[in-house]
Structure 1
Amino acid sequence: MIFLIYGTDKDKSHEFLERLMARFLKGKNFFSLHRLDEESFSESVFNGLLKTDSLFLNKNLVVAKRLFQNFAAADYILSNLEILGSSGNVFVFWEEKIKDDFLKKIKKYAEVKKFDSAARPDFKKKKEDEELFKVADLVALRKKQEAWFLYQRIIMKGGPCEEVFWKILWQMKVLGLIKRGGGRKLHPFVLAKAKRAAGLFQEKELDGFLGELVQIYHDYRNGTADLAVGLERFILRV
């Protein structure tokens, strides 16, 4: 059995993925969960997961993210669609984008769900982008209460949590660069702001915060933690 979940609305597609996983993992289904992505794909491992299909063994629920970004993985999957589709195991592929020719082939064997974000007017998008940068600026200034309130407002409006994450990560990297005497190639306005904020941190603190952010994203990509919650806790700790 094959499922393909894709589209630009990552929040909705992840919500559907979580519900789908719960459907197979709860109750008396006896499914074993396995996660793969474009970096961890191995043809031999995938073959092993595919062949485990027995009345006496747990069946496999394989959740694969961005696998079609790996050309070798994409070629392998497209060559084995009929086998995957007739297997007693369940294969769920999650993608942000997928090529039209890939999609055409997969539709013959898979249940396909598409989640696209609604188009936003340019003026609205500009305002939302400004709010994302503002959260990162407030975190850099250690104004955690203001940062938290603005972050909550963005999330409640259905804003892109992952984009907030990348803005904060970039800000922390810039502060670390400044603390080490770098940053001369930055825009003068960005450099001036970063210098003011860098004085509020110790170098070891910034290294620790960067490590936390990397771990938060790693856990999110592995499906073991919620990015929105992890980021909220981080904002309140800084």
Structure 2
Amino acid sequence: MLYLLHGTDREKILNEGKKLQDMLLKKRPDSIVEKFHADRWTAGEIEAYAKSEGLFGNKYIVTLDSLFTLEEGGEGLFEILPSIKDSLNIFFVLESKLDKKTLSKIEKFAERVNEYSLPTHKNTGAFSIFSLADALGARDRRNAWILYQKAKLSGLEDEQIHGTLLWQIRSMRAASKSNSPAEAGLSPFVYQKSKRYSSNFTSRELEILGDRMVEIFHTSRFGGADLGVFIERELLWL
């Protein structure tokens, strides 16, 4: 059985995932809890949990956290989704905002899909986070840095800002490697903009930038520097 929790509100996703896990543990106190992260899993391991039971018939509760944060990192999950869906064990997939193509592939196998996203902005001002994404796409480091400061002043959290920037990078990569919006898994409007912006970078530069954005997210989560410091650095390095 599969539960998908995704969106830009990372704190809410983690809290709701913990609540569901605790609720299941009350019903199944002998369950065995396992957790996998983007840099520590294989499709074979996950499928083995989907098809097995613990010692003495114990069930597993397995959390798959941020597998899609790495470029093509979660691709191997698609092939084993049928096994997860039919499993007697419980699987939680916790992800940031997913593109339509990835979401549609997962949700058809999910018992429940919940999206938890932060508001686009917390005040009544006209600031749009997508103006910052556009500055990144245009490779305008000065404007990107200024817009980052405006984003912070408008009340946006660094995790939402980071998620939007990573979405822009991935959209550019997808558009640069495809010939149509459908192939890229993007809306026509986003595809056209991303295709245009991708010409400001080489394919290798987009790959490196995407990898660095994923790395700074994980580093900040596990006790590194503040995420905002990392974001500013990346914008100034455009």
1:109-156: CA deviation from partner (whole Å, max 9, x where unpaired): 211000111121439x9578259xxxxxxxxxxxxxxxxxxxxxxxxx
- Alpha-carbon distance change, 3 to 128 in structure 1, aligned in 2, over 3 angstroms: same
Q: Is the 8 A contact 2:43 2:77 kept in 1?
A: no
Matching residue of 2:85: 85
Matching residue of 2:119: 118
Gaps of at least 5 residues in structure 1 are 132-156, 164-213, 221-238
Identity over aligned residues, as a percent? 21
Matching residue of 2:45: 45
Following superposition of structure 1 onto structure 2, how do residues 83-232 of structure 1 map, counting pairs within 5 Å?
A: 83-110=83-110, 111-120=112-121, 121=123, 122=127, 129=152, 217-218=221-222
Which residue identity lines up with residue 88 of structure 2 in the other structure?
G
Q: 1:63 Cα shift?
A: 0.6
**Aligned equivalents of 1:22 and 1:67: distance in 2?**
22
Matching residue of 2:5: 5
Q: Is the 8 A contact 1:41 1:73 kept in 2?
A: no
Aligned residues: 146
Gaps of at least 5 residues in structure 2 are 129-147, 162-217, 225-238
Following superposition of structure 1 onto structure 2, how do residues 10-29 of structure 1 map, counting pairs within 5 Å?
A: 10-29=10-29
- Alpha-carbon distance change, 106 to 162 in structure 1, aligned in 2, over 3 angstroms: closer
Q: Is the 8 A contact 2:9 2:160 kept in 1?
A: no
> What RMSD over aligned residues (CA atoms) do the two structures have, in Å?
3.6
Q: Secondary structure at the match of 1:5?
A: strand
Q: 1:67 Cα shift?
A: 0.9
Which residue identity lines up with residue 77 of structure 2 in the other structure?
I
**Aligned equivalents of 1:215 and 1:80: distance in 2?**
29
TM-score, scaled to structure 2:
0.50
Q: Secondary structure at the match of 1:56?
A: helix
Q: Is the 8 A contact 1:61 1:90 kept in 2?
A: yes
**Aligned equivalents of 1:94 and 1:72: distance in 2?**
16
TM-score, scaled to structure 1:
0.50
Which residue identity lines up with residue 103 of structure 1 in the other structure?
L
Which residue identity lines up with residue 117 of structure 2 in the other structure?
D
Which residue identity lines up with residue 217 of structure 1 in the other structure?
R
Which residue identity lines up with residue 24 of structure 1 in the other structure?
L
1:7-62: CA deviation from partner (whole Å, max 9, x where unpaired): 01122222211111111223444211111011001233223322223693211111
**Aligned equivalents of 1:42 and 1:161: distance in 2?**
27
Q: Is the 8 A contact 1:85 1:109 kept in 2?
A: yes
**Aligned equivalents of 1:76 and 1:55: distance in 2?**
27
Q: Is the 8 A contact 2:6 2:116 kept in 1?
A: yes
- Alpha-carbon distance change, 28 to 47 in structure 1, aligned in 2, over 3 angstroms: closer
**Aligned equivalents of 1:25 and 1:75: distance in 2?**
29
Larger Rg: 1
- Alpha-carbon distance change, 100 to 39 in structure 1, aligned in 2, over 3 angstroms: same
**Aligned equivalents of 2:50 and 2:73: distance in 1?**
14
**Aligned equivalents of 2:5 and 2:98: distance in 1?**
10
Which residue identity lines up with residue 106 of structure 2 in the other structure?
I
Which residue identity lines up with residue 62 of structure 1 in the other structure?
V
